[in-house]
Amino acid sequence: MRTQSAVARGEESLWYALPAEDIAARFGTHLTDGLTRTEAEERLRQYGPNTLTVGRGVSVWAVLLHQFTSPLIYLLLAALAITLLIQHWTDAAVIGAVLVINTTVGFIQEYRAERAMQALLALVAPMATVVRDGVEHEVPSSAVVPGDLVVVRGGDIVPADLRLVRATRLEIDESLLTGESTPVSKGTEPLPASRPIPLAERRNMAFMGTVVTAGRGVGVVVATGSATQVGHIAQSIQRIGRQEVPLQRRLASLGRFITFTVIGAGLVVLVWSLLVGSSFQEALLTTVAMTVAVVPEGLPVAVTIALAVGVRRMARRRAIVRRLAAVETLGSCTVVVSDKTGTLTENSMTVQRIWAGGETFALTGSGRSLRGEVQKDGQKVSITEGSPLYWTLVAGVMTNEASVTPAGDTYEGRGDPTEVALLVAGAKVGLWRRALLERYPLVTEIPFDPPRQFSASIHHDGSTERVFVKGAPERVLAMCDALLTPDGPRSLDAAGVAQVARQMASEGLRVLGMAMGIGEKAVHSTRAGTPQGLVFLGLQGMWDPPRPEAIEALRAARRAGIRVLMVTGDHAGTAAAIAQRMGLTSSSPRVVTGADLEGMADSTLEQVMREVVVFARVTPQQKLRIVEALRRQGEVVAVTGDGVNDAPALKSAHIGVAMGRSGTAVAKEASDIVLVDDNFATIYAAIEEGRTSFANIRKVTFFLVSTGVGALISIFAALALGMPIPYLPAQLLWLNLVTNGVQDVALAFEPGERWFVHQPPRPPNEPILNRRILERTVLVGLVLAAGTLGLFAWELGRGADLDYARVTALTTMVLFQNFNVGNSRSERLSAFALNPLRNPFLFVGTVGAVALHIGAMHFGPTQFVLGLQPLSLESWLRILPVAVSVVLVVEVHKLLRR
């Protein structure tokens, strides 16, 4: 069976273009009796179970080992080994705690973020109804085979990809695959084979994992397991590895730089110490102490805390972070690839424009509000019974299968969002369906069907019957002989009305035509399914309005240099109108459709993306292709999505952002961040917090590295000048603890600064220590070394003993860093412009560190262990102005570089 083999291999076939009889013949099945039990068992052996292949899953050990792949972690492991070797247990415990905290947090976050494939299993229906030997059976969905005749009803999950052969008022929610926000009405007629039909327009197909919302259908299974559309997505997810984010690259680069610097410096100190007569053990101890003092072992924990603070702040702004590094990545974002429905728009169809009796009216109120009024030229219009406007609204309410339940000024709607919008339009002016049905009792109705392009209902009206019809304007116009005007029926200018409908559609509105008929011809033709002799009433135009806060967020994103591309499964015209209304472009945008992308070369696509901001009717593979093209261009890409079809793009992007309300479990598991409110404005708020987190990481890094640079320069300078090293090994370790123990963590809590929120995105290859910060780090290191060594030499020169001089040097370095933490609070703003209580944790930590050092100088045990002693008032009076100098030097540097 050649065709079935093709299905087993997952090859694409134009099943939607074949008549039902040809489908049955190709699969060797009967359109009434289905397969025999024996045939089904044979095909199950041939093709295997109808399940998704999810690979080996997530390896716990692989994720755990991945936490130890940073050069900085290698250095800390080496320092841990040496401190254990020389039995410095306290230092070993500190370094070990840093490693444990960093590994634990990283492992939890990464393990949770690698489970996207598991969520796909929930899409497979547990049971399926199949027809075998002419009888309906319930079987496990895994037993469904190609050629099976499957029955689906409202509430069912479709168990495999089906070519529908019978459909009765069948509607299926395909949003997880296509991005379409409304259920799709299904039919059975073949579709044209002359061009590829997008997934969203394959009206005679039903796909695995989609949900039947209404009606009943029967279909022949044309693909199972990995050959289904969901199976293709599963394979895409498996092929895509987790992307390395900019922060990981920056930290790795910084770690390599520090590693090579420390190793080189350590070798110099070790050799020099041996040359000047130190014992090997003494030289090794000095080298290890210097290494531990220089290495910013607090950096991994401080980075983790800075990101965790960002996670907490994002949660307050309704963005839930699943992967810790995603916090900073959002701050580096250069392009956001956004869905339309629910993210940029309210995901609530609303009637906004009505054309009736030759006049155009506006209907106010949007979102889920029942408040609103009809206006003309900005003035409220009263609804007169019997007017064209009245009957246009009544027709939308009467020919309707949805329901609306008021809840204060809002409502709960059930059914097709388009029909809900028509009910709400009537309710805003007092035309409630229940009251109208009491006046015009329902006789019969013809539900909407895609091939017919209309729905109709017949109602009692006293002694006669009245017909209402709604549908595609061109289809409804063909049923009408006249147009209702305020003066009664007049001759119909069908071309003129069609032009009005096209104009409304060009503005992004979904337009429906309304008609009405009384009399034998209208009633009998409607009962026969081909209404004729009707009077055209008017048009209703509706759309999914943009979120006002999303419009402002888009403006802010542009000011911050972030490009926003709209990639949607919706129609090109609707997408273009929304893009223009939201300000994505100043003029009517060029829209590239999925059909355009089919034959487009990658080089052409990359050029197109520099000019185009709207992509419509795209498939999952095309969305993934757009993301990959952006990444090749060096962009840092954030992608939003809610459906299963979005999962490959979410995982391929530097940062995937899933919708919390409308998002599927698959999308959420493939993402890094979940938006609680599905709102683009929340994405921009998260970008702000991401930039704050990176700024705080940079502050922490500057603070920690400048300490190490100062200690390193002072040691090298002392060795070069033939002076004793100004610190004991234990004092170097104490310096590391008292200057970096609390302040580095406290810097992670710094609030955001408005100036960098509106800056262009950082270049993806910009290091943590950029040129400005690197200059400042070296400058501060020189100031720290010069001040410390100068006072050390002063004390020795005036006759103080070496121990006293070392305490002076150590205290100078401690105070230097406690003043320098004020410099670290902002990259550009003056330390004097920042309220010290704006970050109370930092203020208390700094004061506490100074108090801790002074206490250690007067406490017997620490005096013995660290070689400390109290300093005279004269020494303090010399140390304080020297230590303050670091603030003045950095203030000058900020002024010059600002």
* Whether the Cβ atoms of residue 59 and residue 233 lie closer than 8 Å to each other: no
For the beta carbon of residue 520, count every other beta carbon within 10 angstroms.
11
Residue ranges with strand state E in 397-476: 403-407, 410-414, 442-449, 454-461, 464-471
* Whether the Cβ atoms of residue 586 and residue 359 lie closer than 8 Å to each other: no
* Residue 645 φ/ψ, nearest 5 degrees: -65, -20
* Identity of the residue numbered 695: A
| Closest to 691 (Cα-Cα) out of 361, 383, 348, 307 | 307
- The long-range contacts involving 591-598, CB below 8 angstroms and separated by at least 24 positions, are 591/615, 591/616, 592/616, 593/617, 593/618, 594/198, 594/618, 594/619, 594/622, 595/195, 595/196, 595/198, 597/622, 597/625, 598/196
* Whether the Cβ atoms of residue 319 and residue 673 lie closer than 8 Å to each other: yes
Active site residue 678: no
Q: Hey, what's the torsion of the CAs at 230, 233, 235, 237, to 10 degrees? A: -130
* Whether the Cβ atoms of residue 534 and residue 664 lie closer than 8 Å to each other: no
* Whether the Cβ atoms of residue 595 and residue 572 lie closer than 8 Å to each other: no
For the beta carbon of residue 10, count every other beta carbon within 10 angstroms.
15
Residues 6+ apart with CB under 8 A from 396: 351, 422, 423, 425, 426, 470, 512, 514, 540
* Whether the Cβ atoms of residue 130 and residue 219 lie closer than 8 Å to each other: no
* Identity of the residue numbered 306: A
| Closest to 27 (Cα-Cα) out of 162, 206, 210, 195 | 162
β-strand pairing of 480-485 with 534-543: parallel
DSSP secondary structure, 518-529, as one string: ESHHHHHHHHTT
Secondary element (H or E) of residue 517: strand 510-518
Say whether 58 sits in a helix, a strand or coil. coil
429 burial via Cβ count (<10 Å: 0-12, 13-18, 19+): middle
For the beta carbon of residue 774, count every other beta carbon within 10 angstroms.
14
β-strand pairing of 335-338 with 637-641: parallel
The two structure tokens encoding residue 221: 């299974």
Q: Which is the catalytic residue, given 339, 570, 596, 744?
A: 339
For the beta carbon of residue 489, count every other beta carbon within 10 angstroms.
14
Residues 258 and 785: their CA atoms lie apart, in Å, by 19
| Closest to 795 (Cα-Cα) out of 852, 723, 860 | 723
Say whether 586 sits in a helix, a strand or coil. coil
Query: 612 in the Ramachandran plot: left (φ > 0), alpha (ψ -120 to 50) or beta?
Result: beta
Tokens 């106010």 -> residue: 364
Q: Distance of alpha carbon 746 from its chain centroid, rounded?
A: 29
For the beta carbon of residue 413, count every other beta carbon within 10 angstroms.
19
Residues 256 and 233: their CA atoms lie apart, in Å, by 38
* Whether the Cβ atoms of residue 769 and residue 703 lie closer than 8 Å to each other: no
Residues 582 and 28: their CA atoms lie apart, in Å, by 52
Query: Cα dihedral sign for 242, 248, 250, 255?
Result: negative
Query: 207 in the Ramachandran plot: left (φ > 0), alpha (ψ -120 to 50) or beta?
Result: beta
Residues 6+ apart with CB under 8 A from 71: 252, 255, 256, 258, 259
Residues labelled catalytic:
339
